[in-house]
Amino acid sequence: MKKTIKTTLLVSLSMAAGLAFAQSATDDIAKYREMIADGNPAELYEAAGEDIWAKPMGPKNVSLQKCDLGKGPGVVKGASAELPRYFKDTNKVQDLESRIITCMEKLQGYNAQEIIDAGFEKGKRKDVEAVVAYVVTHSKGMKIKVPNKHPKEKAMFTMGEKAFYFQGGPMDFSCASCHGEDGKRIRLQDLPNITEQKGAALGFGYWPAYRVSSGNFWTMQRRLNDCYRQQRFPEPIYTSDVTIALSVYMGVKANGGEMNTPGLKR
């Protein structure tokens, strides 16, 4: 009996110490983020994106200043807070990245498929990422207002919800495995519950973001790509319907929350 009590006490003390360490480490991460928040390295990407937005480029030697991101040609203020959304000219629901590619193709004459195939931080995809950093900065502090009125927006929301709960792959994971309930954490990182407005706003409202651990700027497409990698699913096609649908699902669930982009992540 004494041995059992002693073992139980040791286990309890060990668990308490572990919890205390985890909490301390979590607090340290929060303090670190706060310390460097004023100098978010994403600002370097933003500056590059501003130059790319205004510079005549491509086969047509035209700038992106007439690109319509949903608020009218050339308007970037508040645009990313209302994306993804339906665009009549393409008859598609598009997120920020796919819409920028459309503008690069139609206005500047670039080959959209080459950008899609390039890979992150490669070729003209690198320009897309920089422009994303520039655009999202102009929605910082604004309310998330992803529309869900057009039939195609509603269809994408439904697809995104199904994708969120789809469970499979060698690890038998889904997005919901990590983001479907409160109180989950991985590597001392709190995981927002995307199924509720508060958690969805924390997830959607802080991406795109600069990732300290990898030392570069990640767009939402790259964030979703990495989620699929961690689930051991095949890599999704860049700007494919399923990735945009997931963004629609998260964005609509997050409506009313605040945009804090570009965020700063571990």
**Same structural domain, 165 and 131:** no
Predicted confidence at residue 57, as pLDDT, reads: 97
Give the burial string for 187-211 (b: 16+ CB within 10 Å, else e).
eeeebbbbbebebbbbbbbbbbbbb
Predicted confidence at residue 171, as pLDDT, reads: 82
**Helix 241-254 / helix 220-230 crossing angle, nearest 10 deg:** 110
Predicted confidence at residue 206, as pLDDT, reads: 95
CB 231, CB 173: distance < 8 Å: yes
**Same structural domain, 216 and 259:** yes
Predicted confidence at residue 115, as pLDDT, reads: 97
Predicted confidence at residue 258, as pLDDT, reads: 98
Predicted confidence at residue 190, as pLDDT, reads: 83
Whole-number Å distance between alpha carbons of 151 and 226: 29
**Helix 96-106 / helix 125-137 crossing angle, nearest 10 deg:** 120
Q: Which of 67, 175, 178, 227 is catalytic?
A: 227
Predicted confidence at residue 169, as pLDDT, reads: 83
Predicted confidence at residue 18, as pLDDT, reads: 45
Provide block-wise average pLDDT over 10 residues at a time, the chain (266 residues).
50 45 51 64 96 98 98 98 98 98 98 96 96 98 98 98 92 89 75 94 95 92 94 93 98 98 90
Q: Which CATH number belongs to the domain containing residue 179 in this structure?
A: 1.10.760.10
Does residue 53 fall inside a structural domain? yes
Q: Which of 104, 137, 170 is the last residue of a domain?
A: 137
User: Domain range for residue 110?
Assistant: 39-137
Does residue 14 fall inside a structural domain? no
Predicted confidence at residue 126, as pLDDT, reads: 97
Q: Compute the C-alpha angle 179/121/238, nearest 5°.
A: 55
Predicted confidence at residue 168, as pLDDT, reads: 86
Does residue 29 fall inside a structural domain? no
Does residue 167 fall inside a structural domain? yes
Whole-number Å distance between alpha carbons of 174 and 164: 6
Predicted confidence at residue 266, as pLDDT, reads: 79
Predicted confidence at residue 20, as pLDDT, reads: 45
Per-residue three-class SS string for the chain: CHHHHHHHHHHHHHHHHHHHHHHHHHHHHHHHHHHHHHHCCHHHHHHHHHHHHHCCECCCCECCCCCECCCCECCCCCCHHHCCEEECCCCEEECHHHHHHHHHHHCCCCCHHHHHHHCCCCCCHHHHHHHHHHHHHCCCCCECCCCCCCHHHHHHHHHHHHHHHCCECCCCECHHHHHCCCCCEECCEECCCCCCHHHHHHHHCCCCEEECCCCEEECHHHHHHHHHHHCCCCCCCCCCHHHHHHHHHHHHHHCCCECCCCEEEC
Does residue 6 fall inside a structural domain? no
Predicted confidence at residue 8, as pLDDT, reads: 47
Q: Which of 110, 137, 164 is the last residue of a domain?
A: 137
If one counts the domains in the chain, the total is: 2
**Same structural domain, 112 and 166:** no
> Is residue 227 annotated as a catalytic residue, yes or no?
yes
Residue 44 dihedral angles phi and psi, to the nearest 5°: -70, -40
Does residue 184 fall inside a structural domain? yes
Predicted confidence at residue 181, as pLDDT, reads: 84
Predicted confidence at residue 9, as pLDDT, reads: 47
Does residue 93 fall inside a structural domain? yes
Cα radius of gyration (the chain): 21
